[in-house]
Amino acid sequence: MLERDYKDENDQEMLGDDSGSHVSMSSCNNVDYDDYDDAGLEQHAVEPQNLYTEHVEKGNADKKLDVSESNTHLSLMNSAKSDTYFNGVPYTRFSKNDKLLLVAICALSGFYSTIAQTIYFPALSIIEEEFNVSEGLVNVTVVVYSLCQGIFPVIMGGLADRLGRRPVALFCIMVYFCACIGIACCRTFGEMIFLRCLQGGGISPIIAINNGLMGDITVKSERGGYVGLTSGFQVLGSALGGLLGALFTARWGWRSIFWFLATGSGVTLFFVVIALPETKRSVVGNGSIKPALLVNRSLLLSLPYYRKKLHLDNPDYETKTVNATYDPTVPFKILIRPELISLLVVQGLQFTTWICHMTTLSQRLKSDYGLSMVTIGVCYLPAGICTLISVVSAGRILNWNYRRRFAQHKLLINSERERLLAENNNDRQLVQSIMENDIKYKFDLFKTRLDYAFIPILVSNAGFVAYGWCIETKQNLAAVLIMSGLASLMCNCMISISNTVVVDLFPERASTAAGCVNFVRCTFTAIVVAALAKMNSSMTVGGTFTFLAAFACVCATLLVIPLKYGLRLQLARERRQAQKASDTKTFDENNIDPDDSEEERELSDLRREATLHSNASAI
């Protein structure tokens, strides 16, 4: 049996096994390598499709390797490891430390998207007085920011999926930097509204780009943790925004807020230029392929250490995917999927209620409690810190539950295979056909990710109701802050869950899919915040949050769609797509037709060369 000797420290770290450096190729038979159909939207059912097969393809299509029972058992017990390799080549050349560095860069850039919203809240009443506008009109600056946060990621996310993560990230941060300077210098309320649109539209795609980047470098068994870390430190802006906004406003006025944002985003832009590598798999594969365009190249790649570590002089061309064409209709194709739109509606309503609670907090603590600006800023800390704890913890729970469910599923597959073989006279082809066509043998990603979703939804909405009535009846400030923290602790779990699900389902279009998440939640936020002042005056604050929480709980029943029908709908689409593909001439990478694109021919040649190289190295 052919084996590949992994002596590189980076490879061993990604394998996660300190005991040895030899990896059997047959243990990669159920690798979770993201596969797409012709439309670039459909991903095959997750994980153990080939667990019960006798053979697995390696490199050359004519070469088969026997899958032994021991290797199957090894794969069963190490599900988190087996999906990190594809044809003996690491899914990513980025080590754990590299991934943590990327998390830090993504979190730093995403920090300025979240903080730009909450840092502004303590200054709302000051801006209202300076420009002589009403509470409802000053809330328009929050509304337009939320609208642009929802719309622009859908557009820019598609460009990031086409051109690469790095160039789009550079452009977005640069626009945000300029908008912050403009707001700090604006003289009229109209200018402020326009520049807030530019600010929100500039930085909001960063969140979607970051999710796409995490999808590029992680496999499903670890993705929840990394997405949770990234999201958690991004929402650190929510934790610190209120306090920083109050401090800056009290000491230097509200304009100092935007000078701070301009300075911070300028420093972030510098770090992104220097250290952020391109990760889009159609551009760099698993990170070992040097980008063709200068704008996609990080300056770190010129260092010998990183050239050696990422194997830039010996790239893994077989990990490079065909670049997806830019299709502006992709977001709509994602949003019309019932199992996805139901999830996005639920998380959108949760996020909307949370933003309304943050908006109300600033205005009511000053008008009803008579607190100073600095004290109001401190009152944002419970909500922000609990949000950070919530998102990071949710990511870890998602990872744990994925591994648990996946291990259970593999045990089921193994036992069912043995039972079916005994019942069908060891007819392996018949057993394989039975298991491939029966939905109960498929791994249900939706149930795995949404196992515990109802708990945080119910607890958070109960917290919002209590918070609203504490504010309305002017209860002790401690009670208000405790309810604010409790609601925030549970509410933002849905952010980690929804982001992880869409990246799992659309890793090659992760930025576009994450943009859809932003679109739904920010659109809901803009609509509700625009009406918040009138709702509070006509329904009272307690009544407003009772209504929002009740509506969110009722809509949470929509999660039954992905939980019960998600896998069935996904497999039905895959079968329709497979039938459509069988009626047309399919792409054969070992026999390119003259009509095929130049890019596909070049990519096929590179893959064949890389396969030969891998075979030679293995021997």
> Which of residues 241 and 602 earns the better pLDDT score?
241
- Residues 539, 595, single domain; the answer is no
Q: Answer yes or no: is 44 within a domain.
A: yes
- Residues 464, 607, single domain; the answer is no
The residues that bridge with 559 in the sheet, in sequence order, are: none
Question: Mean of the pLDDT values across residues 425-434?
Answer: 86
**Final residue of a domain: which of 90, 105, 128?**
90
Amino acid identity of residue 185, one-letter, is C
- Pull the structure tokens for residue 262: 């301009």
Calculate what percentage of the chain has a pLDDT beyond 70: 79
Angstrom distances, CA of residue 291 to CA of 143, 165, 277, 613: 39, 12, 10, 21
The pTM score is 0.69
- The pLDDT score that the predictor gives to residue 303 is 86
- The pLDDT score that the predictor gives to residue 605 is 60
CATH of the domain at 212: 1.20.1250.20
Q: Answer yes or no: is 338 within a domain.
A: yes
Structural contact between residues 395 and 224, judged by C-beta atoms closer than 8 angstroms: yes
Q: What's the first-to-final CA gap in the chain, in angstroms?
A: 10
- Residues 79, 138, single domain; the answer is no
- Residues 304, 384, single domain; the answer is yes
Alpha carbon dihedral 37, 41, 47, 49, in 10-degree steps, equals -30
> Which of residues 573 and 593 earns the better pLDDT score?
573
- Residues 80, 206, single domain; the answer is no
**Final residue of a domain: which of 90, 119, 141?**
90
Q: Answer yes or no: is 601 within a domain.
A: yes
Structural contact between residues 50 and 30, judged by C-beta atoms closer than 8 angstroms: yes
Burial (CB count within 10 angstroms: exposed 0-12, middle 13-18, buried 19+), residue 300: middle
Give the Cα separation of 429 and 421 in Å (integer).
10
Q: Answer yes or no: is 570 within a domain.
A: no
Q: What confidence tier does 426 reach under pLDDT thresholds 50, 70, 90? A: confident
The DSSP line for 411-434 is: HHHHHHHHHHHHHTTT-HHHHHHH
The DSSP line for 75-123 is: HHHTHHHHTTEETTEES-S--HHHHHHHHHHHHHHHHHHHHHHHTTGGG
Q: What confidence tier does 609 reach under pLDDT thresholds 50, 70, 90? A: low
Question: Mean of the pLDDT values across residues 547-557?
Answer: 94
- Residues 247, 312, single domain; the answer is yes
Reported as a single tens digit per residue, the pLDDT across 304-350 is 888 888 888 888 888 888 776 777 778 888 888 998 899 999 999 99
Reported as a single tens digit per residue, the pLDDT across 281-314 is 888 888 888 888 888 888 888 888 888 888 888 8
**Final residue of a domain: which of 32, 56, 90?**
90
- The pLDDT score that the predictor gives to residue 140 is 84
Domain limits at 464? 96-403+445-565
Burial call 60-98: b when 16+ CB within 10 Å, e when fewer:
eeeeebebeeebbeebbebbbbbbbbbbbbbbbbbbeeb
- Residues 336, 362, single domain; the answer is yes
Q: How many Cβ atoms are within 10 Å of 527's Cβ, its own excluded?
A: 14
Q: Answer yes or no: is 440 within a domain.
A: no
> Which of residues 227 and 414 earns the better pLDDT score?
414
The residue to which tokens 């029943």 are assigned: 557
As a whole number, the mean pLDDT across the chain is: 77
Say if residue 38's pLDDT is above 80: no
Reported as a single tens digit per residue, the pLDDT across 370-401 is 888 788 888 888 888 888 788 778 888 888 99
Say if residue 570's pLDDT is above 60: yes
Q: Answer yes or no: is 495 within a domain.
A: yes
Query: Structural domain tally of the chain?
Result: 3
Reported as a single tens digit per residue, the pLDDT across 516-536 is 888 888 888 888 888 888 898
Residues contacting 153, CB < 8 A, separation 6+: 204, 205, 207, 208, 511, 514, 515, 518, 519
Reported as a single tens digit per residue, the pLDDT across 54-109 is 333 333 333 333 333 333 333 333 443 444 555 678 888 888 888 888 888 888 88
Reported as a single tens digit per residue, the pLDDT across 217-265 is 888 778 777 877 777 777 777 767 878 888 898 889 899 999 999 999 9
- Residues 519, 542, single domain; the answer is yes
Give the Cα separation of 12 and 20 in Å (integer).
8
- The pLDDT score that the predictor gives to residue 617 is 43
- The pLDDT score that the predictor gives to residue 150 is 81
- Residues 285, 170, single domain; the answer is yes
- Residues 333, 245, single domain; the answer is yes
Q: Answer yes or no: is 268 within a domain.
A: yes
Between 198-212, 377-391, 599-613, the lowest mean confidence (pLDDT) is in: 599-613
- Residues 346, 208, single domain; the answer is yes
- Residues 29, 145, single domain; the answer is no
470, 529, 558: which is closest to 121 by C-alpha?
A: 529
Alpha helices in 368-509 (DSSP H): 373-379, 381-423, 428-437, 445-450, 454-472, 477-491, 493-505
Dmax (CA) of the chain? 84
Q: Answer yes or no: is 416 within a domain.
A: no
